[in-house]
Amino acid sequence: MRRHALNILLPAATGALVIALWYAIRHGLSEDFKFLLPTPDEIIAALRDNSETLGRAIFNTTKGALLGFGLAIIGSGILALLMSLSSLVRVSLYPYLMILQMTPIIIFAPILILWVGPGLPSVVVITFLICFFPLVVNTTQGLISTDRNLVELFKMYRASRWQEIRLLRVPAALPYFFTGLRIAAVLAPIGALVGDYTAGSSAGNGGGLGFQAIIYSSQARYPALFATAAVTCVLGFVFVAGVLTVSWFALHKWHDSYQHNDH
């Protein structure tokens, strides 16, 4: 009980301290530099004043993030399945997946605009590329790490290859898949933001949070810029919370990682 109260009180105290410091620093700044550090109340006011623009930007960024994330889940699932079926496929592709992961996607952003067009298509492709690697690596690992005894059991019962995949390898890979999904969920909104920052477009009201950040930055509207950052942060939390919820439903009844929530 006492532990529980501390778990809430301590972070709240830290937050209060940071905000107090924030106001203190701002107070200490000379009048000429005060605009560089907007206070929390100014940020909240900016959030209210720009709610319509930011709302649209959130919608566009979320759309890009969800599409890229979803396509990465589907694409990585298919590739992971192929790689798990054949070590030859795995050996052939793995180095290039590593190279893809090491390549800073942002360098390709300008040319992506030329390839697939500005706005949503570019945002989706960049999000997809950023989410793909952790998903494919974890899911493949899960699909090839099936308990040998269980594989033998299926062999003993003369299960078909497809039954082995569907009833054994895929469910056994779920915990690994969700590990990858949690990483990808953190990356998806960031990927969409980066994509939008470099390849965003205002055409047809299609600009997202990244695009909005450029505008606020160039117009020196710093409270609105901070508000954009805060909104992006919330979006990230929503993505992660969504994945944790799905993961809980899929695993809590049987997986050891949820053991303590059982009773």
Classify burial at 227, counting beta carbons within 10 Å of its beta carbon; exposed 0-12, middle 13-18, buried 19 or more. Answer: buried
Classify burial at 116, counting beta carbons within 10 Å of its beta carbon; exposed 0-12, middle 13-18, buried 19 or more. Answer: middle
Q: How far is the CB of 247 from another protein (least distance, A)?
A: 13
Classify burial at 75, counting beta carbons within 10 Å of its beta carbon; exposed 0-12, middle 13-18, buried 19 or more. Answer: middle
Q: For residues 188-227, which are near another protein according to CB under 8 A?
A: none
253 phi, psi to nearest 5 deg: -75, -25
Q: Could you say which of 12, 86, 253, 257 contacts another protein (CB under 8 A)? A: 253
Q: Could you say which of 82, 168, 214, 240 contacts another protein (CB under 8 A)? A: 168
**Does 152 sit near another protein (CB under 8 A)?**
yes
**Does 20 sit near another protein (CB under 8 A)?**
no
Cβ 148 vs Cβ 179: under 8 Å:
no
Q: Could you say which of 14, 51, 163, 245 contacts another protein (CB under 8 A)? A: 163
**Does 158 sit near another protein (CB under 8 A)?**
yes
Q: Could you say which of 111, 153, 220, 241 contacts another protein (CB under 8 A)? A: 153
**Does 8 sit near another protein (CB under 8 A)?**
no
192 phi, psi to nearest 5 deg: -65, -40
Q: Give 112's Cβ-side CA count (13 Å radius).
A: 25
Q: Could you say which of 98, 171, 202, 237 contacts another protein (CB under 8 A)? A: 171
Closer to another protein by CB, 110 or 171: give it: 171
Residues that bind another protein (CB under 8 A): 147, 149-150, 152-159, 163, 167-168, 171-172, 174, 253-256, 259, 262
